[in-house]
Amino acid sequence: MAAGIVARTAHFALHRMPSEQSSIGVVVPKRWAKRAVTRNTIKRQVYSVSEAAQLAPAAYIVRLRTGFDRVQFISATSEPLKRAVRGELVQLFARAAA
């Protein structure tokens, strides 16, 4: 993460370290996603969206930097939460590819 932030959205930051092979890691701290179900849902979304992204070969880390509002997203695996996460991740990877 010392390489710096390549792109960010309201909830996520994308870090990139030069590398010959492509890899992706995800950091979802308990501080921002208290329930394990939510953390795992976010991780699955990151891996799913990253497969479709057109990124240069490098080591990437997606970091959750703020939590999603538990009042707005009551269920840990609700469809609105999944759509919000996926929408932000698409924006994040589009900004990184540009």
Q: What is the pLDDT of residues 66-89, one digit of tens each?
A: 999 888 888 888 899 999 999 999
Q: What is the DSSP string of the chain?
A: -TT-EEEE-SSEEEEEEE-SS-EEEEE--TTT--SHHHHHHHHHHHHHHHHHS---SEEEEEEE-SPPPTTT--STT-HHHHHHHHHHHHHHHHHHH-
Reported pTM: 0.88
* Predicted confidence (pLDDT) per residue in 3-39, tens digit: 789 999 999 999 999 988 989 999 999 999 999 999 9
Half-sphere exposure of 2 (CA within 13 A, CB side): 0
